[in-house]
Structure 1
Amino acid sequence: MTSSNSLSTRPCQILIRSKTALELFDVPEHPSDPISALRPPLLQGPTTFLKTSPDGAFAYVHIAGHGIVRIDLRASNNGSTATDTNTAPFSISKENTPTFLSDTAAVQMMDVSPLGTFLLTWERYYADKKEPNNLKVWNAADGQLLAAFAQKTLKREGWPYVQWTHNEAYAFLHTPSEIRIYTPESLLHNRYVDNLRIPGILTLNLPRTRILSSTEAHSAPSYMFTSFCGGTKDKPARASLHEYAPGTGTGSSSAANPYPALLSKSLFQAEECVTHWNPAGDTALLTIQTSVDASGQSYYGSSQLFLLAKHLPTVQAVPLPQEGPVHDVAWMPSLDINKPSSFLVIAGRMPSLASMHQGADGKATFLFGSAHRNVIDWAPHGRFVLLGGFGNLSGSMSLWDRNKLKLIPSSSAQNSNVNGTLRADAVVGHGWAPNSRVFAVSTCSPRMNVDNGVRIFRYNGDELLNVPWKNEQYRPNQLLEAAFVPAKPLVYPDRPQTPIKEGRANDTTDSTSITSDTIKSATAKPAGSGGRYVPPSMRGRASAGGGTGSSLAERMRREKEGNLQKAGKVEDDSKKPKASTVTSALTGRSIPGLVIQSKTKSKSALKKEKTKLKQAQQDEVNRKVEAQKALLMQGEPIAPVDMTKTPEAVEPSVDPEKRARKLKKMLKQIEELKQKAMDTLNDDQQAKISSEPELLAELASLKL
């Protein structure tokens, strides 16, 4: 049996699947490490997809036109072939390899349970087949079929249709109108032990990990999950958080729902819901995507981010520092239940803004600055995080230390991670090694059919060139997939940054200067511009590459970059002391650090003051009119109202005779209204009758 110490010192491995073979390579950790010896390919020939067990012991590969085979990766590490007759030996082809899962040549989708005990496959449904059940559950130990269900259609957002709890005690089968729950024993007989009625459910999501507190470990088990139901013509879409406690429900589909949702949110025009679980498995983030942007600012719809947790009274919308679409969301990995959870979000129109938030209430605590980014990739230990602009973006990357909240300084002379020039073009796949020391980016077919290859970087941005494979063999379009072999938690220790040499100590950059110095440096010396021809008239001028020229493009770029959000901590306004506005009596200048009040008021402030004054004057007139009405009811003479102070006062330029004629006309209309029944008059007509004393008072003030 292999000890944990030997596992922690073993180099990480990467699986590279191309159109001609499946290969396994050792990945170096340092630039000085020797290049590892080449192994023969694990498989020869084309393959369709690849899945690995959670502990990295086995790889399940689908060979086109043949079926699913299992490869023992542990046998590769000790230089021997696998002994299991159902496990593929190394350097094999479909002609000499038995399938691990029988009759799986037509399988299109596959999934592995959280602990690697079960396998799930799906193939196209055919009603005329002898065995029409096309959704199958297999035993990962021996490849035996355990259960099969009929799943006529497959929607990728709903996959997988069978999901297991973190401890694999229960399996949840997603059907169009309910969730059926099985135990490992009842799964063999295809008899569910419980069901939850959720009509119209589109997606179901269970956390694959769960960290239990000491109280939860000694109490009855319960399992959290989320559901999303699509909207109809007369009903909006709905996202909900549920808790399943075995044995507390009725188990009858005809009875009232025995497991009501803990939290629920109605969503208009919502079409897609993506769930992100925290490491503890008790709090979920939901990214809701709609096809229509009500603000009209985007053709691609809009997105919202909500926080759902058992301890919260309602579903909370996560306050984002920058408005716009949500590009990516990721929780910080952690195995410590006592450590406060946090998550990272990239949102907003480009250049987007990355921010760190508290997992308890969703409040932002740190801003990583604005840049063209759309990808968050946490290292498995949660210490380092990669922020990148992949896909249709330029491929820029930045690497941060979560504990220090600073960019990680590079040991190379260029220090590309700090000065903002770290870049990987045309990235399709990316991921960290289980030791959190290196990560890989790959350009794969069919997404990109040129410049295929795999590049390895250290956690500080230094690229490793001492890799055992040659990217030329995968060009132009031969690479299909590249992924690190996973490992069990705690196999590799959590290690901080390696101290840089003393000569490089002054090259570290504080995080607060990321968007000024970093971007200017990146603009000043863009990658690949060293050999660019510069006309003699432009030589020595910054506009030729220095970034401070006087051309219109350079000026527009500097203005845009100057307005970008810089990295830094987010201050809590409730705890922030109010700044004083006291000025120095000697100099008349504001004291440094204090807020200076604006001497000129804005147009909106002046308009508000004018409206407030006008309302106060009107209230004063109404008070006087009410007093005169009371005197009129008592039979006392009415004193004329001073209308010069009212907003509707008669200006001196108005002819008194014309005003008198208008008042008499209005009084005549009031007399006609009095002849009608009061219950037939509307509110405006009744208000007109009640204004008669005011009109009489104004007519008397004209003294005609």
Structure 2
Amino acid sequence: MDNLGVVDQRVDLPQEGPTYDAAWSPTGMEFIIIYGFMPARATMFNERCEPIFDFGTGSRNTISFSPHGRFVALAGFGNLAGAVEFWDKNKQTLVGRAQLSCTTMHGWSPCSRYFLGATTFPRLRVDNCFRVVRIDGQLIHEHKMEDSLLHQVVFKPALRGVFPDPKTALDDMIGGPMQAPTSAGSTKSQKKEKTGVYRPPGSRGMASSVTLHDYVEAGKVDKAAFLSSGSGLSAAPARSSTGRKVVPGMDPADFPTGPSKAAIAKQKKKERERQVKAQKEAAAKEAAAPVKSTPADIQTVEAGEKLAKKLKKKLRSVDALKSNQAEGKELNQEQLDKLASGSALEKELAEIETRIKELSA
């Protein structure tokens, strides 16, 4: 955290899968993320990136905070069916549900009491309409465009302060007793209606089969256990005895055996690199090896020229080291030893050249 109170923090999520939406509350004190394979999970974090409340799982991909930040709509628009959940963020309770199918445009009223969902052109050319629902999910108004297209619809904006922060009780906000949220599509009812998690036919009866649809109940978050609260989808993928990934439900007799193509290619690459390294080391060792023959051992001009060629090559290497040292470059001990052998190499080369002249005469 810096002097301005800004936190640079990585947010780890317990479930594997895409992140559909993330949004800060207008108060700037918390944010919500929708993530994981469907049914997606939604979690609220505080400004220190600590999980504080879990909205459970559901068919949703959109987060929309009310202007005052007290309420938040978690909705499934686009390629989803249009289910909307309205939550009182402060009290962390579900206050209403609505069904706004084919919604392409949405928004809150300035008073934070009503939510608008519209089906507009050019996203859809048919069934253009708009609907206004209350925060408890009750339909207030619906208008269908019979013979025309709807391009845009929004609530009339208002200056800040015209509508006070709705801190009153929910019954007072809507002018009467609030109805309990309908149970249709709720996380709890979905879990009760499920007789068991779906398993592919080939993996039924196997303890290692992957859970495709895990439902998480809404509630307070245990920070210590948050990252371990994911579904089976976040578990490590199944692997065969050779360590290779296998498809859940695959017959063990069909498990791949032996190393994969990638492993074989990697091993070949390492072998090529090892061979190249060995060749370079051998060449360097040969170049650094001293010339054991003496001028008296040379019996032919060809043998003498061969030895002289090797000595001249070593002297060129010594000259290069002298240049590096003159430029201020630091030499290691091996290079210093080679540099010190320069005088002996020059003397040996002179003797060999004299021997070559003798043999030539």
Pairwise CA distance, 1:514 = 5.1
Are residues 1:566 and 2:242 paired? Answer: no
3-state DSSP of counterpart to 2:187: helix
**Alignment map for 1:92-107 (pairs within 5 Å):** none
**Is the 1:451–1:476 Cα contact (8 Å) retained in structure 2?**
no
Cα distance change, pair 514–366 in 1 and its aligned pair in 2 (3 A): farther
Residue 365 in structure 1 maps to residue 52 in structure 2: yes
- Matching of residues 575-594 of structure 1 within 5 Å: none
Alignment of 1:671-682 (within 5 A): none
Report deviation, 1:457. 0.1
Paired position in structure 2 for 1:384: 71
Q: Which amino acid aligns with 1:564?
A: Y
**In 2, Cα distance between the equivalents of 1:394 and 1:508?**
18
CA distance in structure 2 between the partners assigned to 1:562 and 1:348 by the alignment = 11
1:479 equivalent in alignment to 2:150: yes
- Give, in angstroms, the shift of residue 515 of structure 1: 2.1
TM-score after normalising by structure 2: 0.51
Is the CA contact 1:390–1:427 (under 8 Å) kept in the aligned structure 2?
Answer: yes
Decide whether the 8 Å contact of 1:373 with 1:389 is kept in 2.
yes
Task: Note if contact 2:199-2:211 (Cα within 8 Å) is conserved in structure 1.
Answer: no
- Using the TM superposition, give the Cα deviation of residue 389 of structure 1 relative to its aligned residue in structure 2, in angstroms: 0.2
The aligned counterpart of 2:125 is 449
Q: In 2 relative to 1, CA 552–345 (structure 1 residues): closer, same or farther, beyond 3 Å? A: closer
Q: Secondary structure at the match of 2:170?
A: coil
User: 1:572/1:459 Cα in 2 relative to 1: closer, same or farther (>3 Å)?
Assistant: same
- C-alpha separation between the residues in 1 aligned to 2:59 and 2:3? 31
2:43 counterpart (355, 365, 377): 355
Q: Are 1:341 and 2:34 counterparts?
A: no
TM-score (norm: length of structure 1): 0.28
Provide closer, same or farther for how the CA distance between residues 493 and 439 of structure 1 changes in structure 2, counting only shifts above 3 A: same
- CA-atom RMSD, angstroms? 4.2
The correspondence for 1:429, drawn from 59, 83, 105, is 105
Asked if structure 2 preserves the Cα contact closer than 8 Å seen for 1:370 and 1:565, the reply is yes
Mapped partners of 2:129, 2:181: distance in 1: 31
Amino acid at match of 2:223: D
Q: Look up the match of 2:288.
A: none
Aligned 1:277-426 pairs, distance under 5 A = 310-312=4-6, 315-334=8-27, 341-360=29-48, 362-408=49-95, 417=97, 422-426=98-102
CA distance in structure 2 between the aligned counterparts of 1:352 and 1:402, rounded to whole angstroms: 19
Contact 1:439/1:458 (8 A) holds in 2: yes
Kindly state the Cα deviation for residue 394 of structure 1 after the two structures are TM-superposed. 0.8
Amino-acid identity (%): 36
Describe the shift of the 1:359–1:476 C-alpha distance in structure 2 as closer, same or farther (beyond 3 A).
Answer: farther
Q: Which ranges in structure 2 are unaligned for 5 or more consecutive residues?
A: 205-209, 226-281, 286-361
Native 8 Å contact 2:86 2:137 kept in 1? yes
The residue that corresponds to 2:265 in the other structure is: none
**Is 1:493 equivalent to 2:158 in the alignment?**
no
Output the CA distance in 2 between the equivalents of 1:562 and 1:405: 25
Contact 1:346 1:353 in 2 (8 A): yes
Distance 1:364 1:321, change over 3 A: farther
1:509 CA drift (Å): 9.1
Inter-partner Cα distance in structure 2 for 1:327 and 1:571: 23
Counterpart contact for 1:372–1:396, Cα < 8 Å: yes
**Shift of residue 316 of structure 1?**
2.7
Counterpart secondary structure, 1:365: strand
The 5 A counterparts of 1:143-222 are none
Instruction: Name the SS of the counterpart of 2:99 in structure 1.
Output: coil
Quote how far apart the aligned CAs of 1:310 are: 4.8
Structure-2 residue corresponding to 1:221: none
Question: 2:137 is matched by which residue type in structure 1?
Answer: G
Matching residue's letter, 2:218:
A
**1:560, distance to aligned residue in structure 2 (A):** 7.0
AA partner of residue 316 (structure 1) = Q
**Does the 8 Å CA contact 1:321/1:355 hold for their aligned counterparts?**
no
Equivalenced residue count is: 218
The change in CA–CA distance for 1:506 and 1:435 in structure 2 (over 3 A counts) is: closer
Counterpart of 2:188 in structure 1 is 516
- Partner of 1:573, secondary structure, is helix
Which has the larger helix fraction?
A: 2
How far apart, CA to CA, are the structure 2 residues paired with 1:453 and 1:323? 36
2:88 aligned partner, one-letter code: D
